Amino acid sequence: MPGEYEPHRGCVMIWPVRPGSWPYGAAKAQKTFAQIARAIAESERVWMLAAKEDANQVRAEFSADPDIQVLEIRTDDAWARDVGPTCVVNEAGQVRGIDWQFNAWGGEYDGLYAHWEQDDLAAFRICRALELDCYDARPFVLEGGSIHSDGQGTLLVTEACLLSRGRNPQLTKGEIEKTLKQYLGAEKVIWLPRGIYQDETNEHVDNVCAFVRPGEVVLAWTDDQSDPQWELSHASLEVLEQERDAKGRNITVHKLPIPRKPVCITEEELAGFSFEEGEEIRSAGERLAASYVNFYIANGSVIVPQFVDENDKPAAEILGNLFPERKIVPVYARPVIVGGGNIHCITQQIP
C-alpha cells in the first residue's frame, strides 16, 4: 500500500445526497464537495460517483472541469475512502484494488445506518469502472479511513476502531494484524490506542494521526488537559515515542493542534436532517470530531480543513512547512463534518 504523499493518478469522490447525513438537501455539502474536487483536479484526475438520477446534475456542475469525470455508481452515502477500494501496487507498478466488506462502521452492533448494501458494492464497482483487478477480502470488515500507510511497510491503526465489536469480533488482534499484512504488503502495524474524541467511526486513525513522509507523522494535539482529547492524544504519543517503523527508524511526531473551541452541531443544522429508521440520531450541542489531521494530499496541493477557529492558521502553517513542495488549500469544512465525517474520508486515492 503506497503512502498518500506518493504520485498517483487521482482520487474517487462521491456526490453527497443522503438526507440523514446532509441537511437541507445537501446544498452546503455539495458546494463544499465541488470546491474540494476542483482544487484536487488542478493536479490529478477526480472520479465523482453519482446515482443515475443525480448524474446529469453532477455532470452539469462540472461541465467546465475536464479532469472531473462522473461515474454512475450508486452508493448509500458519500464516504469514498471508507467504501472504495484500498489500492496496492507491485514492483512493476501494477495496481490492484482490495474490496473489504463494509458494514456502515459497525453493522448491527453500532453501525450508523441500517442499509449499506450499495456502499458494500462500491469498491468492486469502482474497480470495474477503472479497469482495476480486485482482491476479494471478504468477510474481513474494514474501512479505508481506519488504516494509514507510509508506503514502506508500516501501517498506523487504532485499537478503538479495529478491535471494535462491530468489525471482526471473531478474530484476535494478532489475526487482524496478520490479515492487514497479507493484503497490504505491510511488515509492521503500529496500534494507537484511541482516535479523535466523539468520532462516530469508532475513532479512525485518519482523523488523529497520519504519515507526512516515511518516519514522520502528525498527531492531533491539545495542551488543554481539561479537554477529553488530551488523554487520547497523550496515550498515542506514548506509543509513537516507543515504536520504530518497518525500517527500524524512530518516529518523529509533529503535534498538530485541534480547534481550540469545540465544534458542535446546532439546532438549526439538526432541523435540516431527515433520518431513516435504524439511522443514528444526532442531538443538538453534540461535539463533532473536528481535526486538521484529516487533510487530503493531492499531487500538487494539500487540502486543509478550516473551522473559523484561532488554530486554523497555525495548523495550515504547520502543514505548509511539512509539505513545502505543495500548495496549501484551506477549505471551510463544517459542511463536511456536520455530515459525520471529514475531508480525508470523502476521498480515496487511486495510484
Per residue in 189-219, pLDDT (tens digit) is: 999 999 999 999 999 999 999 999 999 999 9
| DSSP label at residue 67 | T
Reply yes or no on whether 264 is catalytic. no
H/E element holding 57? Answer: helix 52-61
- Cβ(315)–Cβ(257) under 8 Å? yes
The yes-or-no verdict on residue 69 having pLDDT over 90 is yes
Q: How far apart are CA 236 and CA 231, in angstroms?
A: 9
Per residue in 214-269, pLDDT (tens digit) is: 999 999 999 999 999 999 999 999 999 999 999 999 999 999 999 999 999 999 99
Name the residue type at position 76: D
Per residue in 7-34, pLDDT (tens digit) is: 999 999 999 999 999 999 999 999 999 9
Cα angle at 256 between 262 and 204, to 5 degrees? 70
From 127, 134, 161, 345, the catalytic residue: 345
Q: How confident is the model at residue 342 (pLDDT cuts 50, 70, 90)?
A: confident
